Amino acid sequence: MQNVKEILQNMTLEEKAAQLVQIPYAHVGREKAIEWAKRGAGSFLHVFGDDARELQKIAVESAAHIPLLFGIDAVHGHCLNRKATVFPTQLSMACSFNPLLVKRMAEAAAKEISADGLHQTFSPVLCLGRDIRWGRVDETFGEDSYLAGELGAAAVQGYQGEDNAADTSVIACAKHYIGYGEATGARDSYDTPITYRKVKDTFLPPFEKAVKAGLASIMTAYGSIDGTPCTSDKKLLKEILKEQLGFDGFVVTDWENVGHLIREQRVAANEKEASRLAIESGNDMMMSAPEFYEAIIELVRGGEVEEKLLDDAVERILNVKMRFGLFANSFKQADEKFLGCEEHLRLNKEIARESTVLLKNNGVLPLNGRKKILVVGPSADDIRCNYGDWTYFSHPLPNYDTKPERPYITFLEGVKELAKEYDCAAEYVKGAEINEAIAGGIATAAKAAEKADVILFACGDNIELAAEGRDRADMRLPEAQRELFGALCKAGKPIVTALICTKPLCAPEIDEGSAAVLTNFNGGMFGGLALAEVIFGAINPCGKLPVSFPYHVGQQPCYYNQLPGWHCRNYVDMPETPLYGFGHGLSYTKFAYSNLAFDEKTLTLRVKVKNTGVRAGKETVQVYFRDLVSSVLTPVKRLIAFRKVQLRAGESRELEFAFTRADFSFVNAREERVTEPGEFEIMVGGSSADGDLIKLNFIIED
């Protein structure tokens, strides 16, 4: 077999240009797709089965004999295939604080993706969800850079596997590079007014961890950094990513990003200028940009672009294809038995259970037996609310003619299943739609509430209110659901609210009026079951929030790792702190922290954690630090480590965390990552809230 250098030497300019194009099959149609395969296109996206095999046969029998790469948006499982396992969304999975579970999910998803003969997933999403108005917060691992990096690296390892060339391994594509979720007003694809120092300090670390994990591809973001589109930013793509981080995979643009330089961002006058900017800035593969092909050929022949730039990009793409075994086995495919298999369904339940967060509990939970339960709310029996975005019936637009495939369990079905086991009777009244009233619905629910012992209120949003291209200014629970909740409160019965939502909502009235509140965001096929199991006490909740819940949208941003310096540190009309903060999550047992010690020579932390309750449980031990004096502003606290431990009732365990100087670093004004000597504070506990942390100070010497 030829090596990549030899293949590249024998390629024509036209073949090189074609390798740099990723063609959207559904948009161009079969006949055009065949033409592109004959021409030597590098990749197709959103093509399955016999259609993909037809194109691959054409490609490998062409003059260049270069196999195609097939990509797919498998964001939380291979969810565009209706037979596949629909896992919880990234935000939901992040509630588990469990990298091993995320890795296992990615391994399972890779098997299902490759069972369709596909090679690349546009996942994981390493953007940070720090402003809940942004429509794509559900696709992130939450607001924290460290957590996103740990979970993202685990996902990369799971997708790509130990043997990249295996039939069950797929190419991970981390996205969106970079700062996408930080745009002004949380407007999708808009400008992000931050500095490169901020990029390196806050938004780059998750990508750096993914690169160290062996990441094979990265997608550029739609937006811009301080007015320069990410797609045309040479410093971001070449200097920082490829040179400083040593990324040796290939960079693919997001959908039509080359064209966006002309039509949306208006930094290029025509296709030739946009194509020149894209290739010179460090993009290697142009998604959904067929016009790039003719333009780049003309630019090279006219002497306006060096052919060496194409050579560098093609070499990166061919190296990845070689690494993942496509030259040796162009038709590689896993067994179709993996699609929605029992093993993956069991894993799905495990993730949903570990990702369920108990936000409030005044003692009403877990429910005792022999109760009359009323289930109310539009999210109770709608699996679409549990699935979220990027599934076969929800993206790019909601398709209500497509019926969801079993197996899945809605919240109502889960409650009814558990109610039988716990000798309870469960009645259901919908009461309202997600975003509109039902004639007589509220009155019917209010009347039924008077006869109930406890009310389970299932509320939230759906993908019409939150998804790509659906940024939202009003983050309250929709009015119809607020009115329904108000009517239920008048019955005077304890209310347990299950927030089945894409991301945090601003709902202080829910907290105030509920005896208990819990969520697992979009928990996937078994998210409803996991919520019901927590309510009845069949499982002990152990999830923690990866993102903060503000009281009001005007409190944004309210992420935990704020910078110091806010004069008076409060709004005049609401608290400084969020309603539910990062890392928060209750249990049916209690955990106590003690014996905190830090060795300044070895930078080793020790802490004792004890289960002081009467029930076994899991606790996510969280370690934060603060640099007390630094040359630029640094956060009031920053997550530096976490570990999930399981303890029996009364059991205690001494935990040890080993750090390096680099773990206490930040990026200074010269864009250098440094650890400045001086005094630091270390904090350990069950959430980011000051009241949940024990603390001590230590010194790092020069």
Q: What is the 3-state secondary structure (H, E, C) of 62-91?
A: CCCCCCCEEEECCCCCCCCCCCCCCCCCHH
Same domain, 404 and 331: no
Strand order in the sheet with 425-429: 357-361, 516-519, 495-500, 454-460, 372-376, 425-429
User: Is residue 303 situated within a structural domain?
Assistant: yes
Number of structural domains in the chain: 3
Q: Using a pLDDT cut of 70, give the percent of the chain over it.
A: 99
Reported confidence tier of residue 650, pLDDT bands at 50, 70, 90: very high
User: Is residue 346 situated within a structural domain?
Assistant: no
Q: Rg of the chain over CA atoms, in angstroms?
A: 26
Q: How many CA atoms lie within 13 A of 637 on its CB side?
A: 22
Residue 33, Cβ density class (10 Å: 0-12 exposed, 13-18 middle, ≥19 buried):
buried
Structure tokens at 588: 């049916």
Closest CA relative to residue 528, chosen from 409, 653, 445: 409
For 606, phi and psi rounded to 5 degrees?
Answer: -130, 140
Mean per-residue pLDDT, 100-129: 98
Domain edge (last residue) among 337, 369, 392 = 337
Considering the chain, what is the average pLDDT of its residues?
A: 96
Tens-digit pLDDT profile for residues 688-700: 999 999 999 999 9
Res 569 pLDDT > 90: no
Residue 539's pLDDT is 97
Reported confidence tier of residue 432, pLDDT bands at 50, 70, 90: very high
Closest CA relative to residue 509, chosen from 542, 487, 536, 532: 487
Structure tokens at 602: 């070895």
User: Is residue 583 situated within a structural domain?
Assistant: no
Contacts of 222 (CB under 8 A, 6+ apart): 176, 180, 188, 189, 230, 254, 257, 260
Reported confidence tier of residue 370, pLDDT bands at 50, 70, 90: confident
Same domain, 152 and 53: yes
* Residue 446 belongs to domain with CATH number: 3.40.50.1700
Same domain, 664 and 615: yes
Same domain, 16 and 137: yes
User: Is residue 349 situated within a structural domain?
Assistant: no
Domain edge (last residue) among 306, 337, 368 = 337
Res 629 pLDDT > 90: yes
Residue 96's pLDDT is 98
Same domain, 266 and 170: yes
Structure tokens at 80: 């565009």
Same domain, 301 and 414: no
Same domain, 288 and 373: no
Tens-digit pLDDT profile for residues 254-275: 999 999 999 999 999 999 999 9
Res 395 pLDDT > 80: no
CA–CA separation, 285 and 250 (whole Å) = 7
- The 3-class SS string of 193-213 reads CCCHHHHHHHHCHHHHHHHHC
**By mean pLDDT, which of 43-47, 104-108, 567-571 is the weakest?**
567-571
Q: How many CB atoms lie within 10 A of CB 428?
A: 19
User: Is residue 518 situated within a structural domain?
Assistant: yes
Residue 394's pLDDT is 82
Residue 400's pLDDT is 65
Residue 398's pLDDT is 60
Same domain, 326 and 447: no
* Residue 237 belongs to domain with CATH number: 3.20.20.300
Res 525 pLDDT > 70: yes
Closest CA relative to residue 92, chosen from 144, 138, 146, 148: 138
Helix (H, G, I), strand (E, B) or coil at 244: helix
Report the DSSP beta bridge partners of residue 466. Answer: none
Same domain, 196 and 331: yes
Question: Quick one: CA dihedral 622, 627, 633, 636, positive or negative?
Answer: positive
Contacts of 331 (CB under 8 A, 6+ apart): 53, 56, 117
* Predicted TM-score of the model (pTM): 0.97
* Domain coverage including residue 212: 4-337
Residue 291's pLDDT is 96
Query: Are the C-beta atoms of residues 285 and 251 closer than 8 Å to each other?
Result: yes
Contacts of 126 (CB under 8 A, 6+ apart): 140, 141, 148, 149, 152, 174, 175, 176, 177, 206, 207, 210
CA–CA separation, 523 and 383 (whole Å) = 10
User: Is residue 574 situated within a structural domain?
Assistant: no
Q: Whole-angstrom distance between the N-terminal and C-terminal Cα of the chain?
A: 54
* Residue 611 belongs to domain with CATH number: 2.60.40.10
User: Is residue 102 situated within a structural domain?
Assistant: yes
DSSP state of 390: S
Domain edge (last residue) among 535, 569, 603 = 569
Same domain, 518 and 656: no
Same domain, 182 and 273: yes
Amino acid at 59: A
Res 396 pLDDT > 80: no
645-676 burial by CB neighbour count: b if 16+ within 10 A, else e? eebeeeeeeebebebeeebbbbbbeeeeeebb
Report the DSSP beta bridge partners of residue 618. Answer: 646
**By mean pLDDT, which of 39-53, 209-223, 345-359 is the weakest?**
39-53
Res 367 pLDDT > 70: yes
Mean per-residue pLDDT, 139-145: 98
Report the DSSP beta bridge partners of residue 681. Answer: 626, 697
**By mean pLDDT, which of 47-51, 140-144, 540-544, 591-595 is the weakest?**
47-51
CA–CA separation, 101 and 122 (whole Å) = 19
User: Is residue 585 situated within a structural domain?
Assistant: no
Mean per-residue pLDDT, 595-611: 98
User: How distant, in Å, are the alpha carbons of 58, 293, 319 from that of 13?
Assistant: 19, 10, 18
Mean per-residue pLDDT, 504-533: 98
Reported confidence tier of residue 397, pLDDT bands at 50, 70, 90: low
Same domain, 360 and 265: no
